[in-house]
Structure 1
């Protein structure tokens, strides 16, 4: 019995030992053998490269595991990627080469998937999301990925902890533009928002597309906003609620700009390809803004965000430009942008159309016989603008920023005309330039308190020289401005709902006007200087729960020369009646000491005939304005409806600043204008399509005491303005078609010629602005397409057509006496003819 037991024990020990030995041998076998076994068991087929698996030996998975579990097991053991093509075929590849990151991008606001969101591995691959918000991108050696999309805040996600099998779900927050709460995020187009402060914020880099625009031009964009228009298509004559162009405050990184257009108003002087944020206020502006009685346009390039070097270059049928941004040390960078006209190399069809518009002596005809008088011009024209930003962070609390800008236009024109068989000729030269600098220091004292101190300077110069060859007469004219200042701003966060801001501003403005003639000898030079001080206080209350936003400010100006104090209260109020309906009340008092006038319509060749002057507090009074508006905004289910009613009055205006070309041309009388108006916008967004219709009405009247008819229509009154647009934005393709119609501006018609002074006959006129020009109508089109090469270089191609139907729109008309024929000439100016433009841009 003992013998049997002993033999059984030995037998089992022997079998167990053999089993252990067999198991030891199976711990690491060829992967190919394991795959063949799985193929037989589960009736599948593996596709692989022999060399990638031949050297791999692992312990086989348990036979009882499911196919999916075995694949998971093999992926962990081999670091290979098993891609299940279908129920039978499985592809094996190196995970290192094709490991992917996948995900879905949604809007946090409404949980809708976001198509065409940009997915970027820093210094690596780039892709975009599909219509379901889905993306895949190679993992490569990335440490993080960046997700960005128009109208949303960019988001970065660390790659280290991401699992290849788990697709991300990414929710993007709306970009609130660091300007408190956004009331309407897609206003007219992506990249345009309206805030609870009542301001419109434009981010050109994120701007979608608008009719007639292939570049994110700041000033052309603001003309799409109801209540902002230009009666003569010039960006140097932008009217906001009936005001003149010089009554608007244009700031570029804290520098006041006195020149806003190239080509004498047909092109914006601000480089559209420079990343920036533009804040536009028609009413209720912050107390920190002074020296304007109309709107505020504040352009600021962002000094804080820098991730990697950037370079881009572009060209269109008018100009070429470059842009570059690069690190100079760990916490500092340089940003340079430059743009120059190509007119000295080639005169494109676009240039020809612009030239005909800007320098038309217009259609000049005999008022009685309608006989045309032809003028011939031989011109040379070019312009450039350059901007530079230096940003340096110093430690954790300090930030130093230097901004420089230079704008320059030059025109040489030889003009000839044959009148009564007599050839008259002139050689004319004109320069216009605006240079500026701003040095800003920011200090964050703690989480609740911060300060800004800036020193700025802006110089403007307009020079003209006219050489009348037959008379051997040389006429010189100069208008210069130098604006230097200091600004201090302190911000205090008292609670989560209430903040208090205060500051001080000093300005010294000097203007010089020179007129000189050699024959007969004449010389006049007028120089004036004004120094102003301003104390500013502002209190903000923002309760997101009760949906109340209130900003009350006060600006106290002191003008040294006049020993005069001016109080300027400001108000911004917004109340959310419901989640979709809000009420807005805005109001302000403002003043202005520096503005433009026209001495003679022929000054500076009649091209840029306005000159800047300063108030003297008597014959040239300080301009003052008061404005109030009340509005409603409805935003729900991709519908946006806004209604604004406003009242505006500006006193202290001089007739020489209003562009009269009738009996008041030389009057130089003071008065005021008063405007009542309404502005309506209805907008609907349907997936990738946005359409909107806007209407603006204003009743704008002058009041000039002391003349026979004291009240009459404003020269810049457009009673009715209607705009429509439809834009389609999907993926890399953007298309926009739009139209605008407005009633003709006022004009004054002649009665005949007064010969009471035989040596100096004059035109007899009807009452001022007794008639209106014909209505204006124009259709514009634009489209852009963007694509990317394998080396991540981006390309953008754009096409625009202004005035698609080539409609001849009269934009101004005046009358003059031809001394040779003793007849009245009818001088008309017309809008742009059909004008195409092409652009091409490369972004590295």
Structure 2
């Protein structure tokens, strides 16, 4: 019955929301009442003489009209005129005032179009602003011409203008259709490109269920085939892969740490990015070091632009971002964010804390029922970025970037033992520092070059001090990654483009352990240097129906004297204006990976360590992937279907996070995954809804353990996501759900503990991953509203609720032996109902 009630509530919101916001008033109303309504809706103030409006009644203007169009609507029906004076709109009688001729320009989905150019018959021009509105002077006759870079041009005769503002709908230009498979993919600001990638434009981002900001690492999990096995951004699984098999780049800097709060919050400030590219397959040959996806985040813009400042806060952190234009050819950008979780304990932090610290040393102290333990924890995080952009001449651009990410946790345990107070302090520190410098040159319309250098540093230190045994264990894991790249692009003809390049990087990884009792220490450092030569050829047919790109990445690892090639292929063919076929293929590799040496590493919160391949016990991982799909788009409908096959060799049991009979083994194997990803989306005006389904069959083979295949730890066989979204002027609301089958688990054969030949207790397990935990279901909500104070400033208010129905979802399970030598079940639960709120001011 609960599920039925949840479904009915979800269905009623889908039906009621668009109707509630989409109805126009049909009855005549007093002018004063209408003006009051317009003032509230657009946050403006009116000034008028009471005698000018007294006794006047008209039909209210349509709700979808922009402010200026509504003013014209009122003026043309009352013969009143209006003008802006300061913060007021003054209405006054003017016998000489004639009726205005105006229009507003929107796209196929009802969104206003800015920067459209209106060419008047006298060769003068008008450019639309954010609301798409423009007026035609009274003395103009003949036809006007409307043009925009991304839309088809059109012309309108002035005679066609009536008493009301004319609605002009522009359709996407055919050139844009060549580059895009679809413009709006599950949300405004997300599109799918013809090269198979997904592009996110944060500045154009609409809204998604549970999200009120364009957080890239949370947004990408809404795409079919991408999700997190434990709902964090530090464990994102793309088509069955592990998180370390994804490549994350920020302005050319590789990031080895992607999350704050140990994965519940993205480490990347949502205010920063200008464009984000996500590749699931068919990756460009310019991306290496990943056998799964590539996520390229860029905040660079070709132009200097204008300065602005954004200050915001939610229930976890406060942040600011500023862009300062120092000259016509230079600017710099600064951002910083810090949590206030060490000062304020809002409900959001409480729910996050409960989620992250369950089943760890922070909250689960051994024998806590027998000893009077007291504990306290203090956690906070911060991040910062700095960017500098300098234009040199007309063709050269210099970019310099820095980034810093930090997590800090201090945990104090105390107890009274034989009238002695014993306290111990444990801690965990995560730090990322990165810098890059890039030079881009546009030699002419057909030739461009780029050179860049980057360095990335990652370090995690943990100190685990036992209040019982006085044992202190210190751990460290650090990475130093430096590299540079050269690339060149030439348009050989109208059909062919050639891209070539060279990349070099050196990675050094250090792992250390130190224990006081029994005394033990180790420190190991490994270094690899990799060279890559890259070539890519793009082809576009004359009729623009076929786009193809073939690439080859030739790698050489110095330490192993290893040379190997990685071919990449992408094909996109337009069967008809509404149908497109796509085929993608790639071979990729990586020499870095994460392993779990002990489940208790780093307080049991950050269990994974980065390691380098040694071409023996830790081989270079290599992947092969094929996919084929079809996309249909017409009349607001979008249907997408894609089938894929992927195999990754060279994985290790330590890299897969086993907590069963394979936990302490060191076997080398592979995983094979195949599946289907489907999306159906319908949109009209400001309302759209979508549903996606993903299926995958993901299995391991470790020949050292068993010659038989068995399910992967990251297999989620079936996933269904859905959302209903409504965008009305500056108001946005989203409601969505996520359901998936439970992940595999290895059950014990008995609750009775067995013993080894050395009389050590052990659990007798069934076949690996032969059972599954219960399915996952969650309903999320978000809403936001923007108040435009002036043309250059606005206030954004937002609210989100994760897990509205407070469903208790199990996301992982393992078994352990308790103090009574009984096998007990340990479950990790997903977030409870978690509210959050946002206030953001931009000017």
Instruction: Name the structure 1 match of 2:474.
Output: 476
| Contact 2:360 2:605 (8 Å CA) reproduced | no
1: distance between equivalents of 2:74 and 2:325?
Answer: 45
TM-aligned CA deviation for residue 106 of structure 1: 3.2
Instruction: Name the structure 2 match of 1:42.
Output: none
Q: Cα gap change, 1:797/1:91 in structure 2, threshold over 3 Å: closer, same or farther? A: closer
| Contact 1:681 1:693 (8 Å CA) reproduced | yes
Instruction: Name the structure 2 match of 1:829.
Output: 828
Instruction: Name the structure 2 match of 1:214.
Output: 212
Q: Cα gap change, 1:418/1:700 in structure 2, threshold over 3 Å: closer, same or farther? A: farther
TM-aligned CA deviation for residue 764 of structure 1: 1.1
| Contact 1:116 1:731 (8 Å CA) reproduced | no
Instruction: Name the structure 1 match of 2:17.
Output: none
Instruction: Name the structure 1 match of 2:691.
Output: 693
Instruction: Name the structure 1 match of 2:354.
Output: 356
SS where residue 262 of structure 2 aligns? helix
2: distance between equivalents of 1:84 and 1:721?
Answer: 51
1: distance between equivalents of 2:499 and 2:734?
Answer: 42
TM-aligned CA deviation for residue 762 of structure 1: 1.4
1: distance between equivalents of 2:415 and 2:707?
Answer: 38
Q: Cα gap change, 1:372/1:831 in structure 2, threshold over 3 Å: closer, same or farther? A: farther
Instruction: Name the structure 1 match of 2:665.
Output: 667
Instruction: Name the structure 2 match of 1:838.
Output: 837
1: distance between equivalents of 2:510 and 2:174?
Answer: 43
2: distance between equivalents of 1:515 and 1:176?
Answer: 60
SS where residue 223 of structure 1 aligns? helix
2: distance between equivalents of 1:772 and 1:689?
Answer: 37
Q: Cα gap change, 1:245/1:425 in structure 2, threshold over 3 Å: closer, same or farther? A: farther
| Contact 1:361 1:375 (8 Å CA) reproduced | no
Q: Cα gap change, 1:376/1:355 in structure 2, threshold over 3 Å: closer, same or farther? A: farther
Q: Cα gap change, 1:101/1:793 in structure 2, threshold over 3 Å: closer, same or farther? A: farther
| Contact 1:363 1:829 (8 Å CA) reproduced | no
Instruction: Name the structure 2 match of 1:726.
Output: 724
TM-aligned CA deviation for residue 788 of structure 1: 1.8
Q: Cα gap change, 1:153/1:467 in structure 2, threshold over 3 Å: closer, same or farther? A: farther
The equivalent position to 2:284 in structure 1, one of 283, 286, 291, is: 286
CA offsets 1:628-678 (integer angstroms, 9 cap, x no match): 000000011110000000000000000000000000000010000000100
TM-aligned CA deviation for residue 449 of structure 1: 1.1
Deviates more, 1:792-801 or 1:551-560: 792-801
2: distance between equivalents of 1:464 and 1:95?
Answer: 62
Q: How does 1:609-688 map to 2 (within 5 A)?
A: 609-688=607-686
SS where residue 765 of structure 1 aligns? coil
TM-score (norm: length of structure 2):
0.81
TM-aligned CA deviation for residue 757 of structure 1: 4.0
TM-aligned CA deviation for residue 178 of structure 1: 9.4
Instruction: Name the structure 1 match of 2:798.
Output: 798
CA offsets 1:308-355 (integer angstroms, 9 cap, x no match): 210010000001110100112220100111111011221110000000
TM-aligned CA deviation for residue 135 of structure 1: 5.6
TM-aligned CA deviation for residue 177 of structure 1: 12
Instruction: Name the structure 1 match of 2:308.
Output: 310
TM-aligned CA deviation for residue 388 of structure 1: 1.1
SS where residue 217 of structure 2 aligns? helix
CA offsets 1:54-88 (integer angstroms, 9 cap, x no match): xxxxxxxxxxxxxxxxxxxxxxxxxxxx9996799
TM-aligned CA deviation for residue 543 of structure 1: 2.7
| Contact 1:786 1:797 (8 Å CA) reproduced | yes
TM-aligned CA deviation for residue 475 of structure 1: 1.2
1: distance between equivalents of 2:676 and 2:445?
Answer: 42
Q: Cα gap change, 1:85/1:223 in structure 2, threshold over 3 Å: closer, same or farther? A: closer
Instruction: Name the structure 2 match of 1:41.
Output: none
1: distance between equivalents of 2:811 and 2:682?
Answer: 32
2: distance between equivalents of 1:243 and 1:450?
Answer: 35
| Contact 1:715 1:745 (8 Å CA) reproduced | yes
2: distance between equivalents of 1:537 and 1:570?
Answer: 10
TM-aligned CA deviation for residue 302 of structure 1: 2.7
Instruction: Name the structure 1 match of 2:10.
Output: none
Q: How does 1:529-568 map to 2 (within 5 A)?
A: 529-543=527-541, 545-568=543-566
2: distance between equivalents of 1:148 and 1:360?
Answer: 58
CA offsets 1:190-224 (integer angstroms, 9 cap, x no match): 10000110000001111110000011111110000
**1:337 maps onto 2:335 in alignment:** yes
2: distance between equivalents of 1:674 and 1:93?
Answer: 68
TM-aligned CA deviation for residue 823 of structure 1: 2.0
Q: Cα gap change, 1:741/1:417 in structure 2, threshold over 3 Å: closer, same or farther? A: farther
Q: Cα gap change, 1:733/1:84 in structure 2, threshold over 3 Å: closer, same or farther? A: closer
| Contact 1:693 1:723 (8 Å CA) reproduced | yes
TM-aligned CA deviation for residue 683 of structure 1: 0.3
TM-aligned CA deviation for residue 105 of structure 1: 3.8
Instruction: Name the structure 2 match of 1:437.
Output: 435
Instruction: Name the structure 2 match of 1:204.
Output: 202
Q: How does 1:209-248 map to 2 (within 5 A)?
A: 209-248=207-246
SS where residue 764 of structure 1 aligns? coil
Q: Cα gap change, 1:90/1:600 in structure 2, threshold over 3 Å: closer, same or farther? A: closer
| Contact 2:697 2:715 (8 Å CA) reproduced | yes
Instruction: Name the structure 2 match of 1:15.
Output: none
TM-aligned CA deviation for residue 736 of structure 1: 0.2
Name the count of aligned residue pairs: 737
TM-aligned CA deviation for residue 427 of structure 1: 2.4
Q: Cα gap change, 1:673/1:374 in structure 2, threshold over 3 Å: closer, same or farther? A: farther
Instruction: Name the structure 1 match of 2:768.
Output: 768
Deviates more, 1:701-710 or 1:615-624: 701-710
Instruction: Name the structure 2 match of 1:781.
Output: 781
The equivalent position to 1:602 in structure 2, one of 591, 600, 603, is: 600
2: distance between equivalents of 1:410 and 1:382?
Answer: 6
The equivalent position to 2:518 in structure 1, one of 504, 516, 520, is: 520
2: distance between equivalents of 1:509 and 1:816?
Answer: 37
2: distance between equivalents of 1:821 and 1:692?
Answer: 51
| Contact 1:107 1:173 (8 Å CA) reproduced | no
2: distance between equivalents of 1:728 and 1:322?
Answer: 28
| Contact 1:763 1:817 (8 Å CA) reproduced | yes
| Contact 2:799 2:837 (8 Å CA) reproduced | yes
Which entry has the higher C-alpha Rg, 1 or 2?
A: 1
Q: How does 1:35-46 map to 2 (within 5 A)?
A: none
Q: How does 1:568-587 map to 2 (within 5 A)?
A: 568-587=566-585
TM-aligned CA deviation for residue 126 of structure 1: 11
1: distance between equivalents of 2:83 and 2:180?
Answer: 48
2: distance between equivalents of 1:290 and 1:127?
Answer: 42
2: distance between equivalents of 1:435 and 1:114?
Answer: 40
SS where residue 678 of structure 1 aligns? strand
TM-aligned CA deviation for residue 497 of structure 1: 2.1
Q: Cα gap change, 1:148/1:604 in structure 2, threshold over 3 Å: closer, same or farther? A: farther
Q: Cα gap change, 1:517/1:85 in structure 2, threshold over 3 Å: closer, same or farther? A: closer
SS where residue 229 of structure 2 aligns? coil
TM-aligned CA deviation for residue 417 of structure 1: 9.1
CA offsets 1:426-453 (integer angstroms, 9 cap, x no match): 5210000111111001112222111100
TM-aligned CA deviation for residue 519 of structure 1: 1.9
Q: Cα gap change, 1:835/1:416 in structure 2, threshold over 3 Å: closer, same or farther? A: farther
Q: How does 1:115-126 map to 2 (within 5 A)?
A: 115=112
Q: How does 1:441-456 map to 2 (within 5 A)?
A: 441-456=439-454
1: distance between equivalents of 2:175 and 2:826?
Answer: 47
1: distance between equivalents of 2:632 and 2:352?
Answer: 40
Q: Please tell me the root mean square deviation across aligned C-alpha atoms, in Å.
A: 3.8
Unaligned runs of 5+ in 2: 1-47, 50-71, 91-96, 118-126, 138-145, 154-162
SS where residue 577 of structure 1 aligns? strand
2: distance between equivalents of 1:835 and 1:356?
Answer: 11
Instruction: Name the structure 1 match of 2:33.
Output: none
Deviates more, 1:787-796 or 1:472-481: 787-796
CA offsets 1:291-318 (integer angstroms, 9 cap, x no match): 0000000000133233321001000000
The equivalent position to 1:295 in structure 2, one of 293, 296, 309, is: 293
Instruction: Name the structure 2 match of 1:507.
Output: 505
Instruction: Name the structure 2 match of 1:58.
Output: none
**1:261 maps onto 2:241 in alignment:** no
2: distance between equivalents of 1:93 and 1:190?
Answer: 34
SS where residue 654 of structure 2 aligns? helix
| Contact 1:805 1:834 (8 Å CA) reproduced | yes
| Contact 2:811 2:830 (8 Å CA) reproduced | yes
